[in-house]
Structures are given as structure tokens and as C-alpha cells.
């Protein structure tokens, strides 16, 4: 179990995968992400896939720090709301893409931290590389710090269907989620506790990288036009 200001976070898996438990886990995770400054304003979205295939996901436009059960809606694997009047975020398609590609994925988290946003704007390569950090062991199949993980970075795109096609090319290679440039991270796990643990690990590593960059020689100022 992981604890937060909102109480313990239940693992949503197996026979206890009910709608109410899924909603409660999303609310607790949303509050924790807000406490950490990873979902400013109405940014970010969180979801859980239940055993029966239903997907519980945060409603578009809601503040995760004030998230209640009314802020969680049901969608199908196609990303469409199951109940009239509910409005999912366009980014719901990226959650559904992960669930469709990874049969064992049970929870997906998307945050907009300062570290992820700034690093992805500064690093112009198509991926951010993390190596030699002990916390790398938080990710699936990682048993040592003596490794190098690639976190793909994709250009931000308001056309989510087009963005999802770019992401699809690299999904099998993703051990630590991915980043949308100037936007934020996507990460997942078999349940909410694991997804949140991986998110916290990734955000710690991104913060370390951002702090490391501050110690490098200053970038020369641009000429004044």
C-alpha cells in the first residue's frame, strides 16, 4: 500500500475491481498528484480499467485537487463516453491506446509537472535517457542501476489521433512511459498503486535531470537583434 494525505491507496485488481473502488483510487491518486504539483489547474487525467473491461477516467476540465466521484466517468475502449452528457478529454484516446496495446495495463496516469515540461522543451532529441540512477529499479524488469532507459519524447499535437499513431510506433520499447514535449508524461501499470509508484519514480528522475542541467555551464545568451 502507498499512503497519502487522503489515506491509503487501495490496489485495484482481481475480484475487488468494482466501480466504487476504482473511483476511490482515482480520487486518491488525483489528490496525491495535485499535492506534488504534477497536475496544475485542470491539467492531467487518470484512469483505471476494471476487470469487466469498463474504463473509469477523469472528466474533462476538472481540477484533480478537488476531484470527487462526479469527476470520474465511464468510457469504452474507443474513448467514447458511455453515458449521455459526460465529456471525456480528447486525451482519453491515449489511455485507451495503452489499454488496447498492453492487456495487463490496469491504470494510466498523465501529469504536467514542471520537470517534464521544461526538460522536454530543452532536450531536442527524440528521447530522454536516464542512466545509473538507483530509482530506475522502480520500472518493470529493471533490477539494477547499471542500465540506460529511453523515455520517448513526442511533439505536442492537438490532433490526438495523429499523435497516437506516432506513439504506437514505440509502445513496445517503453519501459518508463513517454513524454509529450512541453506537455507532460504518460505512465501506466497493472494497478493504480503500481502506476503511481512508477510516476513518482519517473518524476523524481526527471527532477534529478533538471537539477543536473543547472550545474552544467551556462548556455551563452543569444545576440540581441
Binding residues for Zn(2+): 110, 112
Strand partners, 3: 8
65, 94 contact by CB (below 8 A): no
H or E element at residue 195:
helix 192-214
59, 88 contact by CB (below 8 A): yes
140, 105 contact by CB (below 8 A): no
- Strands of the chain (E only): list them: 2-4, 7-9, 45-49, 55-58, 72-75, 107-111, 127-131, 148-154, 178-180, 184-189
**What is the grid cell recorded at 215?**
550545474
Q: Residue 78 has what DSSP assignment?
A: T
Q: Which residues are annotated as a binding site?
A: 110, 112
Amino acid at each position: 500500500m502507498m499512503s497519502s494525505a487522503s489515506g491509503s491507496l487501495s490496489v485495484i485488481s482481481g475480484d475487488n475491481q468494482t466501480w466504487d473502488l476504482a473511483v476511490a483510487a482515482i480520487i486518491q491518486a488525483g489528490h496525491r498528484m495535485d499535492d506534488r504539483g504534477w497536475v496544475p489547474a485542470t491539467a492531467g487525467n487518470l484512469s483505471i480499467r476494471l476487470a469487466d473491461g469498463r474504463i473509469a477516467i477523469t472528466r474533462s476540465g476538472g481540477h484533480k485537487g478537488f476531484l470527487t466521484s462526479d469527476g470520474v466517468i465511464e468510457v469504452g475502449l474507443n474513448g467514447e463516453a458511455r453515458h449521455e452528457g459526460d465529456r471525456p478529454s480528447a486525451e482519453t484516446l491515449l489511455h485507451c491506446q495503452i489499454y488496447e496495446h498492453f492487456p495487463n495495463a490496469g491504470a494510466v496516469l498523465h501529469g504536467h509537472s514542471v520537470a517534464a515540461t521544461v526538460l522536454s522543451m530543452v532536450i531536442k532529441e527524440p528521447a530522454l535517457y536516464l542512466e545509473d540512477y538507483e530509482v530506475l529499479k522502480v520500472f518493470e524488469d529493471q533490477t539494477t542501476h547499471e542500465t540506460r532507459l529511453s523515455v520517448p519524447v513526442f511533439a505536442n499535437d492537438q490532433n490526438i489521433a495523429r499523435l497516437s499513431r506516432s506513439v504506437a510506433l514505440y509502445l513496445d520499447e517503453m519501459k518508463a512511459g513517454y513524454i509529450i514535449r512541453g506537455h507532460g508524461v504518460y505512465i501506466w501499470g497493472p494497478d493504480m498503486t503500481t502506476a503511481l509508484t512508477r510516476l513518482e519514480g519517473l518524476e523524481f528522475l526527471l527532477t534529478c535531470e533538471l537539477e543536473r542541467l543547472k550545474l552544467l555551464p551556462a548556455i551563452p545568451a543569444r545576440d540581441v537583434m
